[in-house]
Amino acid sequence: MQKKMTTIYDIAEKTGFSAATVSRALNGKATVSDETRDAVLNAAKKMKYTPNFAARSLKTRSTKQIMLSIPHLTSAYYFQLIEAVHQIALSRGYSLILNHSHANEREELKILKSLQNNYVDGLILISINITENHLREIDRLDIPVVLSGIGTNNLDDAHRNKYDYVGVDTGKGMFLATEHLLKQGHTKIGYIGLPLDTQTGRERYQGYENALMKWGISVNPEFVICGGFTVDFGYNAGKQLCQLKEMPTAIVTTCDHICIGLYNILEEKGIRIPDDISLVGMDNTEFSAVLRPKLSSIVIASDEIGNEAGNIIFKRLDGWDGEKQSIIFDPTLVIRESSIRTARN
């Protein structure tokens, strides 16, 4: 019976490094520290590893392409991020391949598996729910990867130092939005947002809940509607709240698109913003300043995230082997007409 040949995955398991790091060490890439390279080479020698030179030769050619995978194309938030990454890629003579995952884990895993064929030189993966399945597939890649979840770095301690991550503290953003409404005198504040079975959704809801707790106010389950991010979802959620015996006097939402739907249903019902109900969105997209009344919104730094993620990818491609980066931006609140209370509810 022929003995099974040692693979880079066997060496990765033995050393505790990712398969991508093992591959770079074996291929003599400058992106690996001397200490790491020595550990990998020693393990490879002891395990009698034999390189596949045919496969290696196919991986040494640059494609001059990087990929950006995003969960949604319906959100204007991502347009700024895409443009930021695109400009950096162009300045380096690279093309940008855009992948739309529809916030579907299966689609994201499918694209990660396809990248084992090395048809791009780097990947920026934006997901609303990064799982162990994602990390397992990323470890099989021989290209630099930057993760982003439009939130804080929710990876556990065992994984946090293995991957580059760029995000924004959206939980803090939702806290700012909710507390702003509390300071306006509201105590009955609703929440409309992303599904709670995602990291991003849970993080934003937690910010809302923490602000209420700080002010000694309990969450009213009737005021909380989670499960989407579209204009239609906002419209239907607003319609549901309008059917309550007692409506909230203010609402925070996890994206500006939801607020557009709310504007539509509230206008149909003759409910005035902000006199009868106050609203705060998130993303601070371009239309937040042209809605009437103008929409207060949380700024979550899409262009800054794109710039940082793009810069890290190219630093890695240039051979930088520094510690993995975890860059988290702080959100800010832009206060406009929709949340300035002009009459007591």
Q: What is the chain's alpha carbon radius of gyration, rounded to the nearest angstrom?
A: 23
Mark whether 193 and 286 lie in a shared domain: yes
Angle at 208 between CA 202 and CA 212, to 5 degrees: 135
Domain of residue 72, CATH code: 3.40.50.2300
Asked whether residue 186 falls in the same domain as residue 215, the answer is: yes
| Residue 184 shares a structural domain with residue 161 | no
Q: How far is CA 185 from CA 81, 218, 290, in A?
A: 35, 15, 26
Decide if 285 contacts 256 (C-beta within 8 A).
yes
- Domain interval for residue 68: 64-168+301-329
Distances (CA, A) of 214 to 183, 221, 305: 12, 18, 30
The predicted pLDDT at position 208 comes to: 98
Residues 33 and 88 in one domain: no
Same domain, 183 and 199: yes
Residue 99 main-chain phi, psi, to 5 deg: -115, 135
For tokens 């409506």, what's the residue? 247
Whether 176 and 93 map to the same domain: the answer is no
345 occurs within a structural domain = no
* Better-scored residue on pLDDT, 275 or 8: 275
What confidence tier does 157 reach under pLDDT thresholds 50, 70, 90? low
Per-residue pLDDT of 277-294, as tens digits, reads 999 999 998 889 999 999
Strand order across the beta sheet in which 250-253 lies: 224-226, 189-193, 250-253, 278-282, 296-299, 332-334
pTM of this structure: 0.78
| Residues 175 and 146 placed together within one structural domain of the fold | no
- Position 108 pLDDT exceeds 50: yes
Which residues is 252 bridged to in the sheet? Answer: 191, 280
The answer to whether position 1 is within a domain reads no
Q: Which position has the token pair 């832009």? A: 334
Q: Confidence class of residue 344 from pLDDT cuts 50, 70 and 90?
A: very low
Q: Are 279 and 198 in a shared domain?
A: yes
| Residue 170 pLDDT greater than 70, yes or no | yes
Residue pointed to by tokens 């084992």: 116
